[in-house]
Each structure stands twice: as structure tokens, then as C-alpha cells.
Amino acid sequence: MAACALYAALAFVYLLPAMSGGRVLLPWGLAARFEPWASENPDVKPEPWDPLVYDGIGQFYPWRAYGFGQMRQGRIALWNPYQMCGQPFLANGQSALLYPGNAPFWFMPTAKAFAVTAWLHLALAGLFTFGLLRRLGASTGASVAAGIVFAFSNWQAAWLHLPTFLCTSAWMPAAMWASVSLMRDRSRSAWLGLAVALTMALLAGHLQVAVYVAIAAAAAALYAAWGMAKRRAIGRLGLAATALALAALVASPQVSATLDLARRSHRSGGATAAGYASYTAYAVAPAGLMGLIAPGHAGAPTDLERPYVGVTRGRMLFNYAEGACYVGLLALLLGGIGLAAGRGRFLGLLGGLAWAVALGTPVAAALYFGVPGFSGSGSPGRILVIWSLAAAGLVAAGIDSAARGIAPKRLAAGLAGVVVLAAVSFYASWRVAGEMQTSVNWGQAPAMAALAAIGLGALLAGKRLSVGLRQSVICAVLATDLLAAGMPLYHTAPEDAVYSASQTVEAIKAHAGHGRAAALNASWSFAGPSAVLPPNAAMVYEFRDVQGYDSLMPAAVKRTLTDAAGADPSPPEVGNMVFLRREAAPVAANLGVALLLTRTDEPLPTESEERPLALGALVGTSVAGGGRCLVQGLDGAPHGDVTWLADTPSHVAVDVRLAGPATLALHDTPYPGWKCTVDGAPATWSPAGLSRTVALPGGPHRVAYRFLPELFQVTLYLGLLGVGLLGGVAAAGVIGGGLRAPRS
């Protein structure tokens, strides 16, 4: 309980700037540069552009606002009608609608819930790491220090604005803890713990990090099985496999939908040699090792005077978070001591393998080609989450090694190893700085070195200080170092500024009606985009848009927009984003667009300049023949009247009155799972571009569409069955006759 309170208190202090003074944990300053907010909220100053951190406000806030807003109304948000002409929403794994850890979004304002969720998972990450190290035999003080290192490592800080990373990675030490306990004790609680931890990791929203959780748990199980009798080890590994299978069953409503969308998405396709070359080209460069001793060596993403300028192994511009690896200078020294003393070898090997993948060595090929679907994941550097946890364990090994006494030669060897690593990383970073015509920035490194010296002095003080006092000093140094390094990396914003009410947006919604609005955005770059109403903003304000931003989108969306413009609708820097290009404006009516938008200082399409509409900070024009639901006779001309009856995310219904046979085209993305009825009877619809069409005879008809995929219905049943099995095991404590109560 004391450890839990400590991590909760540290997480509260860490996030205090984002939880007080009317501020929230959101990078709104990155969106404040866009219209209409730049004109309507001039008091909010734009911040240095960071394309990855922008996802926190450009993706995650709209997803959470929409998804949990629907949940509060008693609906599971299976479909998102507001972006990309409509697309699956639950199937976007990062929606994380079914993840229990997102409960704050059910009960709190969306903007406030981000900090509360982060606080909860930082505390859990620390607590689970503490439990893992205690199970591996570390002392209480050393385990406390390990929890501090993993929870507040630079990796967690750099990814803090993308909540699925923290929410998933927090379960990694829990899964390893349960794996080791299951292999050693074969206990009911350990088996349940492993099943729950893996379930939570699968539901938390980031499948790539969930794969890393499973890898770490498997490695821990194999480590604990080492030296066991073969038959005994196989039996217990089998129990661990059943826990994974049950986790997959419970999480199947979410995971199956995500995998189904992935195979229909713009990122579908297997692993290829060319894809692997691109994957490793975005690996961490050797100069990135400098981040182990000076996290600001290439600048900082929030520093106006010296912004981060890093490069990948392939000499491409790098994002700070993709190579975040700092765990504290004292932590490196402690880890070196632990390894030199012969402790923590398993964790050292695990961390080394993580670095081998992150650096793009041939080891990365095993993941890329060996794990189905992994080829569509993000950069190799994200596996440094495993390094961060391994490093936390090595800290505990170093503390306990010093407490038991370590031979001077071994101590010297451990410290020398860290010095050599520092020298090599500095040299690599110095070479890259020369190429980039910059210099190595030591930033906070001198202060961090001073803190490390204090901690190392306390560690080696011997009997002059009690064990408890030495470990308290070390924990204080680690916490001070990591909080000082991590707190400047996250952004806060005034709560009332985040997607505030907008007169411009209200005017857009009034003119668009049931149709779509489409902004003609010209550019989006890593240097800082120039755009209006950026993708996904429509989800917050609840109007329909053509553009969108998602890691998974139906392939039909990108293909249709490409054909319409004769060019890729995605900017070169972000393949997961699509716009309606100016070249596609003539066919906007076929996408259900009723209103085209642009900046007041940019021209509208030539054929539309006669009908400009003043829309606050923007200017727009109505699209002739635009609308989402149109009737065409056999001659292709408009033929009939349409009256809207329902237009909710998963239900569309209209009344039509036809003079003769015609086709009703609903300009929404065709996707399996939409069921059509005509006058109450099932009907078959046909895909046509980004439309669903149905043939109708003359006369009045009522046409309705509902989205309820059979896959979701089946897997929801399976998921509930899995929950029942978990409950049954918890009550009975028996699985295959193999589980028993834990030993005291």
C-alpha cells in the first residue's frame, strides 16, 4: 500500500500543471494555428510544431469526445459518420471503447479525463513494476526505485499525449509479474493475473505495444521455466498459453474488428523486402544512443530556441518520441553495477534485444516478417518501452548488489562500461551534429550528472548511512531526475480553449445540413501545416467531412479520392491523412459535399466564385447538386424527392417519392455490416465509389440503413463468454486440474 501511495503521489506531482489552474493535458497550442480558432481565439499562442504530439489533439481528443459521448447516450460507436465520408469507429483499435481503464471518459469532461487517465496508468505502471521486481527477488527499496524508473522514464513522457501508449505499456510489468508467478507457483491468482493483464493490453488501444507486452511476458515465462524439468515446464507454459487464448477471447470484439478493418484498409498487404527497408530506415540512428546520457542532446520538441532536430538510421528527420530512451543517468550507473555483479542478466538480455530491434539490426526482421500484421506497425524505436522496463529492473539489481557488497574490480567494470557507452554515443551524436550543422546540446545534462553523483555517493557510502536512507536518497534522485526531464515534454492548455464553441462552425453546419462540408486544404508539412478545420475536427462539432486522419481507413476512401484528384490525397509527410484536393472539387457532389470551404485569402474553385458565402473566419461555396442522398432516374437525371427521417451514426432513413424506376444513392462509404431495408423488407445495396446504391421501382418508399456487423455480434457473444470463463475460474480456481491457491 505504501508503494501504491508513493507512485500515486509522484504521478500527481508530475501532472500537477495539467490538473490545476483550469488547465488540461492536451497540446491545444498545436491546433491553435488553424482557422477558425486562430481568429476566434487569438489569446491562445501556437506552440512549436510537433507532428506526433499533434495526434493528441488532432486524433485522440476527437476520438474520445465522440466515442465516449456516444457511450454516455447508451450507444456503442460502431460507425463514425463525421470523417472520410464515414468509416468504422470501434474497429479503429485506438478508440479503446471497451477498455475499462478509460472509465474517466465516461464520467468526466473529455478534456479533464486525459490527465486523470494518465495519472491512473502512471501509478499502475510503477506499482506493477514494483510487484514484478519483488517477485524476482529484489529488495523493497530497490523495487520502489525500479517502479519510479519505468513509470517516469523518458519513453512514457514522450508518448504521454497519445494515451494508448501509456495505457497499454502499463500492463507490461503486470503480465511479466504474473508469468513468473505462474511458472513458479502454478497458482490461480497468477493465471488470472496473466489473463487479465493480457486482456487489458489488447483492449487498451495500441496493438503494436500489446505485441511487445506479449513478447515481454513470454520472455519472463521462459526465464522462469529455465532449469525446470522439461515436462513441468511444458505444462506451465501451456497454462500461460491458455491465459493468452482467453485474453484474446475476451478482447475479441475489439481486436477482431481492428484486424478486419486492417485487411480492408490502405495499409493492407504483407511484409515485403521494400517495406522492411523503409521500416529499418526509420530506426534509431547510433547517435540516438546519446539520449541515454543527455535526452536533450539534439534539442527538445518544446524548446522554441532549440527545437529537436534528430535523424533516423536512414538520415530522415526523426521525431523525439520515436527514440526516447532516457531512464536517468544514475539508472545507467546502477544498471552497469548490477550487470557487473552478475545480477539481472535476463533483464540485460531483454533490454539488449530491444535495442537491437530499435537500431534496425537484422534482429528486427524476426518481428517484421515473423509476426503476422506487424509489417503495418510503427517505427522500430517504439520497442524501447521494453528497454525502459528492463533498465528499471537493472536499477534494482544494482542497488541490491551494492547493498550486499561488490568487489572493487566488478564495480570498476560496471562504471567503465557506462563510460564507454557514453563516449561512443557522444561520438556518434557529434558526427551527426556536424552533418546537420548543429551542435550537441548538453542542456540539463550537468544538473543530471550532479544528481547522479549524489545518488552514487549515497550508494557507495557503506555503513556511514543506513540501507533505508541510502535507498531513499537513490529513489529521490531518480524521481527528481526523471520528473525534471519529463515534465517539459508535455503540453497543457486552458480547458475552455479546447475545441471551443465557434461561430464559423455553426454557420458551416447550418449551410451543410445533412450534406458534407469539405475544406480545400493545400498543404501539410513537418515544418508546420497551413490548414483550415483540420481532419477529425468535424467529430467534435458533429458535422460531416470528407477529410480525415486515422491510422486505419477503408482502402475505398483513399482510392476514390485519388481517382477524383488524379493524385494522392495524402500529404507526403502523413500517409494516414486524406484531404479533398482542389483538383477533385468538380466531383465533390459525388462525395455528398454540399459546401466547399477555404481560407478567406485563398480562392474558391473557379466555377464556384459566383456564389461565395461568408462563414466567419472562412469562405465557402455551395455545391450544385450536392447532398448525401440523391435519386437518379434511368436516364441519369435527378428524379424524385427525398425526405430525411433519421440521420444518426449507425442509422440512416429517408422517404422517397419516385415518378418511375430510379436508383437511390447514399453518398456514404460502402462497408460490410450495413444492412438495407426498403419498405421494411431486406434489400441489397451495391457499392459505387463512396456510395451505397439501391434500385427502386416508382412510387413512395422508405429506405433505411443500419450498421451492425455480424462479426461484432458474434465476437461480442464470445467476449462475454470469455468474461464468464474468467469469472468461473476466479470462483472455482480450477483449470484442467492444474491450478492451486498461491503459497504463502
Segment among 60-64, 434-438, 448-452, 687-691 with least mean pLDDT: 434-438
Tens digit of each residue's pLDDT (9 = 90 or more) over 273-282: 888 898 999 9
Closest C-alpha among 520, 436, 529, 497 to residue 51: 529
DSSP bridge partners of 681: 678
The answer on 575 and 513 residing in a single domain is yes
Run of H or E including 486: helix 467-486
Asked if 58 and 535 touch (Cβ cutoff 8 Å), the reply is yes
What percent of the chain shows pLDDT beyond 70? 92
Into how many domains does the chain fold? Answer: 3
Q: What predicted TM-score, i.e. pTM, was given to this entire model?
A: 0.93
Three cell numbers at 264?
480492408
For residue 676, the domain's CATH number is 2.60.40.1180
- Compute φ and ψ for 547, nearest 5 degrees: -75, 165
Look at residue 220 and tell me whether its pLDDT is greater than 80: yes
Task: Tell me the β-bridge partners of 300.
Answer: 307
Region 420-449: what's the mean pLDDT? Answer: 67
The Cα–Cα gap between 155 and 331 comes to 14
Q: Answer yes or no: do 562 and 704 share one domain.
A: no
Confirm if 255 and 207 have CB atoms less than 8 A apart.
Answer: yes
Between 135-139, 145-149, 513-517, 727-731, the lowest mean confidence (pLDDT) is in 727-731
Q: Which letter, b or e, does each residue of 78-91 get, where b requires 16 or more Cβ atoms within 10 Å of its Cβ?
A: bbbbbbbbbbbbbb
Same domain, 667 and 595: no
| 253: CB partners within 8 A, 6+ apart | 90, 98, 712, 715, 716, 718, 719
Residue 119 has pLDDT above 70, yes or no: yes
Query: How confident is the model over 221-252, as pLDDT tens digits?
Result: 999 988 787 888 888 899 999 999 999 999 99
Q: What is the per-residue pLDDT across 12-65, written as a single tens digit (0 to 9) for each?
A: 999 999 999 999 999 999 998 888 888 888 777 778 888 889 999 999 999 999
Residues 214 and 322 in one domain: yes
pLDDT 10s digits, 569-580: 888 778 888 888
Averaged confidence pLDDT in the chain: 87
Q: DSSP for 172-214?
A: HHHHHHHHHHHHHH-BHHHHHHHHHHHHHHHHSS-HHHHHHHH
Residues facing residue 695 across a β-bridge: 663
- Same domain? For 288 and 409 the reply is yes
Residues 171, 174: Cα–Cα separation, whole Å: 5
Same domain membership, residue 376 and residue 408: yes
Of residues 634 and 178, more confidence is placed in 178
Name, in order, each residue with C-beta under 8 angstroms of 114's C-beta and a sequence gap of 6 or more: 18, 24, 25, 26, 56, 60, 61, 64, 163
| 163-198 pLDDT, tens digit each | 999 999 999 999 999 999 999 888 888 999 999 999
Question: How far separated are the first and last CA of the chain, in Å rounded?
Answer: 18
Torsion of CA 87, 90, 94, 98, to 10 degrees: 170
Cα 724 from Cα 260, distance rounded (Å): 25
Does residue 84 belong to any structural domain of this protein? no
Considering the domain boundaries, does residue 60 fall inside one? no
pLDDT at 439 over 70: no
Average pLDDT over residues 477-497: 92
Which residue, 627, 642, 675, sits at the end of a domain?
627
Residue 7 lies in a domain: yes
Determine the pLDDT at residue 213: 97
Average pLDDT over residues 245-265: 92
Task: Using alpha carbons, select from 84, 171, 181 the residue that is nearest to residue 122.
Answer: 171
Domain closes at, from 423, 455, 489: 489
The rounded distance, in Å, linking the Cα atoms of 228 and 35 is 64
Residue 395 belongs to what domain range? 2-47+90-263+279-489
Cell numbers placing 306 = 532549440
Among residues of the chain, what percentage have pLDDT more than 90? 49
The mean-pLDDT minimum among 293-297, 354-358, 561-565, 719-723 falls in 293-297
Q: Which of 118, 40, 105 is nearest to 69 (CA)?
A: 105
Residues 121 and 203 in one domain: yes
* Residue 736, in any domain of the structure: no
Residues 517 and 370 in one domain: no
Q: Tens digit of pLDDT for each residue in 374-420?
A: 877 788 999 999 999 999 999 999 888 877 776 666 667 767 777 77
Quote the pLDDT of residue 742: 47
Give the DSSP per-residue string, 436-484.
Answer: TT-----TTHHHHHHHHHHHHHHHTTGGGS-HHHHHHHHHHHHHHHHHH
Task: Give per-residue pLDDT as tens, 454-480.
Answer: 877 777 776 667 777 888 888 999 999
Would you say the C-alpha torsion 506, 512, 515, 520 has a positive or negative sign?
negative
pLDDT at position 440 is 63
d(CA 377, CA 368): 9
pLDDT tens figures, 84-110 = 999 999 999 899 999 999 999 999 999
Looking at the structure, tell me whether residues 303 and 438 fall in a common domain.
Answer: yes
Judgement on whether residues 241 and 326 belong to the same structural domain of the protein: yes
Predicted confidence at residue 249, as pLDDT, reads 95
Same domain, 113 and 173: yes
Amino acid at the residue 17: P
Would residue 79 count as lying in a domain?
no
Q: Which of 588, 606, 627 is the last residue of a domain?
A: 627
Asked if 519 and 61 count as a contact pair (C-beta separation under 8 A), the reply is no
Spatial contact of 534 and 517, defined as CB atoms under 8 Å apart: no
CA distance 116 to 497: 19
User: What length does the chain have?
Assistant: 744
Query: 120-160, pLDDT tens digit by residue?
Result: 999 999 999 999 999 999 999 999 999 999 999 999 999 99
Spatial CA neighbour of 172 closest among 134, 135, 139, 218: 218
Residue 494 lies in a domain: no
**Are residues 168 and 197 part of one domain?**
yes
Q: Per-residue confidence at 431, pLDDT binned at 50, 70, 90? A: low
Looking at the domain assignment, is residue 254 inside a domain? yes
738 within domain boundaries: no
